[in-house]
Structure 1
């Protein structure tokens, strides 16, 4: 079956960009998103990956909503166009609205309104039952494997800037792919490998090294070349991260045990940082496995 497609007469700039961290980002244009940390946002229940196993209570700014994640891969129907590519190795910026399965008539009416020029973001705020309604339906950048299969198929086959319809276990969706980009890379780096790199002066000149621990932790143990960006101060450095760090450069993230750094690494990836490395086990593992002169605490 061919999915319903609508060419909106006008596309509003996304009002909010969600990422794996519970923060919100009001936009000033289609191509640039700035941060607004006025209130945390909940995770969307479509997202099924990149959930941490634990979170440190010492970092209250960023909280996870594990109940919003769906680890099942339910059966469902999706209507897609066979004329579009599968967008391999791509990420897509997605906006959507969700209604109950019994509200197909409402969905059709909303789709018709979009065809007449009404913004999807306005309709999402009014009618969507997804928590993303608070953000105009913005889900942010998603990769394959992050959402339920039916939604993923629609998102990765839909033509850019056209509204398409799909059904998942959560109900009926109208979704729109606003942009696409090459998939960013997030890897783990072993403490021993990082130690070897730190011996090379050229590495210190080229790499971007970020320590997200708190000042009292850094005072106990630190590594050369790492710039301290305490996670508790995310509201201060988050909005200007790309002013100081280049998304195109290799970026290495460190914390105590590798948990907080993974959250920041995921967030940096969502912001377009191309090559992000999380230090496995954090500075504690670095001390135990790579350099015993670094104190443990």
Structure 2
């Protein structure tokens, strides 16, 4: 394209895959390598269609429930975690199962169990900060008996929730907005001074780092593009954080082919990030498409380095 106009790109870093996502993908790939296709995966292993389609090409078959899995098959549980009823059902049906739950989500499961205890006098009712219907929330609440956990989705619900009298604790989904969660926690601590919680909210390091990285570029941007799937909680939160941090506009785009190019009208500085379940290849794909239309000047603003690696679960390690 002749006479391409200049475009400044601010790349936020860290961005893209986190250790939990990387581990979950490796679980599926290793299961296929060891046992051959098909390997069944309950729910999307992570919330990204590009990742899901790549694994399908290797022999993964994605299902929503175990009743879609044939007897004696190999099945992987997604990174978001599952209720206790799911592995129990897998055992009942004699399925070979491998748990790809992110270790940081598993940590929240253990916190919930610790607060609940054995149901004795020290048992605490748990308030879970999170989004209704998200598989991580479903999995975490499913660690305990019905009624043991009450979901709180925002500060307004935190102001109104009326748990039964007695000791309380709170836990949080790992992929929430850091700022929104702090506001909700403040409301809960004000209303219930004795409530117990983690030393730090359960929002994972990767979510925290990616939000901080977006905040570092957003004030200088006419538009921020977050690459990620619409059903990805951490990707949606990045878009929200970008707008609140001062970007004139922020959009969530699954990949370059989905971008509405009219959004680029008048954009001189573009911020670019990716949710924790979006591969770096999609970022580079976006840059390639931008380079066809603009003369790019690219600057990366990296707020921290990440070196976290999670081992595969014992049956596959």
The alignment's TM-score, normalised by the length of structure 1, stands at 0.28
When you count helix as a share of all residues, which structure comes out higher? 2
Larger relative contact order, structure 1 or 2 (CA cutoff 8 Å, min sep 6): 2
